[in-house]
Amino acid sequence: MTVGVWVLGDQLWTGQSALQSCAGEPANTPVILIESLSHGQAMPYHLQKLVLVWSAMRHFAEELRQANWQVSYYPAAETFQAPLTEWVTQQGITELRVMAPSDRPFAQLIQALDLPCQVRLLPNNCFLWSREDFRAWAVSHKRLLMEDFYRESRRRFQVLMDGNQPLGGRWNFDQENRKPPKGGLKTPQALWFEPDAITQDIIDWIKRSDRFQRHRQYWQIEPFRWAVTRQQALQVLDFFIHTRLPGFGPYQDAMVTGEMTLWHSMISPYLNLSLLHPLEVVQAAGQAYLENQNDWNLSSVEGFIRQVMGWREYMHGVYHLTDEDYPQRNWFDHTHSLPEFFWTGETDMNCLYQILTQVKQTGYAHHIQRLMVLSNFALIAGLSPQAIESWFHAAFIDAYDWVMQTNVIGMGLFADGGVLASKPYAASANYINRMSDYCHQCRYSARDRTGDNACPFNFFYWDFLDRHREKLSSQGRMGFILKNLDKISPAERQAMGQQAAEWHSRALGVEG
Ligand code: FAD
Ligand code: SF4
């Protein structure tokens, strides 16, 4: 039997299960990596995402060669099928091993390949929880609660634990982590890199190629400053831990004009390519806390660890637990198409303008920008969940199907009817005004609900609650909010509904 290994673009770790299964014989194991152009053109992906993935793949191929693996690399291939068939035949491969893809559509793509050898999928070991372990946890619980899962995760991997109890006596310090950005915040630096020759080659090629015209219309390719190797990703992690982790918590939800990174870690692109493993991330953060207990707040470190071993693992687990129709869910029956400004950034709503411009330039926005501005707007304005999911998928540097469906369809838009979140993350301008400085420089008034200056987040918000009152009243946590809706006069509610409809006709060219 001759075994070959196909390393997918988001599986760039020498410890991944398919490579590990042949680790004893690298010199006798053919390994293939393929850049597929048709895959890169399946949607208008952010140009920096294409550069990141292809550059990281090329660097990883070099790393494997240096470790003596027999690597074949196919740059800019049209599809996966042709290079795989050629390589399998040339190398006389009888069994092709692939670590199970994180994304369902890619698993289907593999199933549909026609290859002259057996294909064997090995369990994906790039997450803390295997799919089977998550499923076993889920079936043993009546309700899927992230907080329960997170506690189990802390116990299981013994992170921030004192025996069987949480360090500091509490599991969750979230209440201490929601400060608005008042006064002049002194924000820390983030670590960035200049492109090396491999990265620059890809940038130049994409700039010249006529394959990416749509992508070029929307996204900036330069300056490209992301890490592209495991070694650089480890530097990013280390730099974050020693400069921004101690202050991660308090301003985790804050949004400030011109401040992209604040105290965020910027590690999602590297975790999602497997350049970093979540276990090493949480262990490094936990260890750094133990070494600096007298100076660091536990709330910051706990807040960060909850994101990685709580939210990230939970989203991945739920994705593989849900049915294949999950991406098509549309609980509110929202059908408005995506306004063009999501692509161009050209809108007079300052919060959206600032964040969309930042996404255009980098492919990145932090969690609250994604949740409480971008997807909040899509939710309350009634945009089609599938249209907005496709946009997020195209726009973000760290976007993959497993993390998109759960975050956009589930968390952001509540289109799954509450599988993932206990109530919709819907908010008026009040929230954005409290947690950002965007409203000071906006042409709209964050206070007005109707009239020329009314912030669209206001009339859309109240109209959303009004339109979906019946559905929302079945969500226990919405009772208090619906009572506030009742305090608004029927005439004002009607005026807001009218203004929302007019906005749609004007901005989207669609009947409201
Ligand atoms: P930090 O704020 O420093 O957090 C640390 C890490 O925690 C992140 O790197 C990430 O790996 C993990 N994390 C935190 N929350 C989540 C979550 N809800 N789901 C998964 N991981 C989480 N994350 C992606 O990786 N890819 C996406 O395409 C993506 N799209 C999103 C779309 C929407 C509408 C929403 C609400 C969230 C989305 N997220 C996505 C989750 C989260 O916003 C990003 O992981 C985070 O902003 C990445 O920036 P960071 O590395 O600086 O994160
Ligand atoms: Fe955004 Fe409204 Fe604030 Fe303007 S007033 S920045 S549109 S929330």
pLDDT at 508: 60
**500 CA → ligand 1 middle, Å:** 30
Which atom of ligand 1 sits closest to the CA of residue 371? 36
Q: Are 173 and 246 found together in one domain?
A: yes
Question: What's the CA-to-centroid distance between 365 and ligand 1, angstroms?
Answer: 9
In a domain, 215, yes or no: no
Residue nearest atom 3 of ligand 2, based on CA coordinates: 439
Residue 373 lies in a domain: yes
The number of the ligand 1 atom at minimal distance from the alpha carbon of 263 is 3
Q: Are residues 282 and 399 in the same domain?
A: no
Ligand nearest to the CA of 341: 2
Residues 348 and 271 in one domain: no
Task: Verify that 136 and 113 share a domain, yes or no.
Answer: no
Report the C-alpha gap between 419 and 87 in whole angstroms. Answer: 43
The residue whose CA has the least distance to atom 2 of ligand 2 is: 455
Ligand 1 atom closest to Cα of residue 406:
19
The CA R_g of the chain, rounded to the nearest whole Å, is 24
Residue type, 200: Q
Residue 338 lies in a domain: yes
Residues 292 and 167 in one domain: yes
Q: Is the C-beta atom of 248 inside 6 A of ligand 2?
A: no
Out of 321, 349, 378, a domain closes at 321
Ligand 2 centroid vs 431 CA: distance in angstroms? 10
Which ligand is nearest the CA of 282, by number?
Answer: 1
Query: Does any ligand 2 atom lie closer than 6 A to the CB of residue 77?
Result: no
Asked if residues 310 and 149 have their Cβ atoms less than 8 Å apart, the reply is yes
Q: What is the CATH number of the domain that holds 97?
A: 3.40.50.620
Q: Please state, in angstroms and as integers, the Cα–Cα distance from residue 363 to each residue in 248, 304, 330, 337, 358, following that order.
A: 21, 21, 26, 22, 7
- What pLDDT does residue 509 have? 53
Residues with CB under 6 A from ligand 1: 264-268, 271-272, 304, 307-308, 311-312, 315, 366-367, 370-371, 375, 392, 396, 398-399, 403-404, 407-408, 411-412
Q: Is residue 455 part of a domain?
A: yes
Give the atom of ligand 1 at the shortest distance from the alpha carbon of 398.
Answer: 26
280 and 235 belong to one structural domain: yes
Q: How far is the CA of 418 from the centre of ligand 2 (A)?
A: 27
pTM as predicted: 0.97
Tell whether 184 and 117 lie within a shared domain. no
Q: Verify whether ligand 2 is closer than 6 Å to residue 7 (CB atom).
A: no
For 498, counting Cβ atoms within 10 Å of its Cβ (0-12 exposed, 13-18 middle, 19+ buried), the class is middle
pLDDT averaged over consecutive 10-residue blocks of the chain (512 residues)?
Answer: 97 98 96 96 96 98 98 97 98 98 97 97 98 97 93 97 95 87 88 98 96 91 98 98 94 94 97 98 98 94 97 98 95 96 97 98 98 98 98 98 97 95 95 97 98 98 97 87 94 97 80 36
Looking from the CA of residue 445, the nearest atom of ligand 2 is 5
Which amino acid residue places its CA nearest to atom 7 of ligand 2?
A: 349
Alpha-carbon distance of 461 to 452, in angstroms, equals 17
Report which ligand 2 atom has the smallest distance to the Cα of 438.
6
Among 442, 450, 452, 459, the mutation site with the greatest number of ligand 2 atoms within 8 A of its Cβ is 442
Residues 477 and 390 in one domain: yes
pLDDT at residue 175, rounded to an integer = 82
Domain interval for residue 339: 327-508
Q: Any idea what the CATH number is for the domain that residue 307 is in? A: 1.25.40.80
Alpha-carbon distance 68 to 43, whole Å?
Answer: 36
Of 280, 306, 321, which marks where a domain is finished? 321
> Helix, strand, coil proportions of the chain in percent (round to 5)?
55, 10, 40
State in Å: Cα 315 to ligand 1 middle: 10
- Alpha carbon distances (Å) from 498 to 31, 106, 145: 60, 44, 38
Contact status, residue 87 vs residue 93, Cβ threshold 8 Å: yes
Closest residue to atom 10 of ligand 1, CA basis: 268
Do residues 40 and 72 both lie within one domain?
A: yes
Output the domain CATH number for residue 471. 1.10.579.10
Judgement on whether residues 8 and 94 belong to the same structural domain of the protein: yes
User: Does residue 220 lie in a domain region?
Assistant: no
Among the bound ligands, name the one nearest to the CA of residue 437: 2
Which ligand minimizes its atom distance to the CA of 415? 1
Ligand 1, atom 24, lies closest to the CA of 398
**Are 106 and 146 found together in one domain?**
no
Query: For ligand 2, is residue 439 a contact (CB within 6 Å)?
Result: yes
CB of 461 closer than 6 A to ligand 2? no
User: Pocket of ligand 2, candidates 430, 433, 447, 452: which has the most ligand atoms within 8 Å of its Cβ, to mutate?
Assistant: 433
Domain stops at, among 71, 87, 122:
122
Position 512 scores a pLDDT of 35
12 and 161 share one domain: no
Does residue 209 lie in a domain region? no
How many separate domains does the chain show? 3
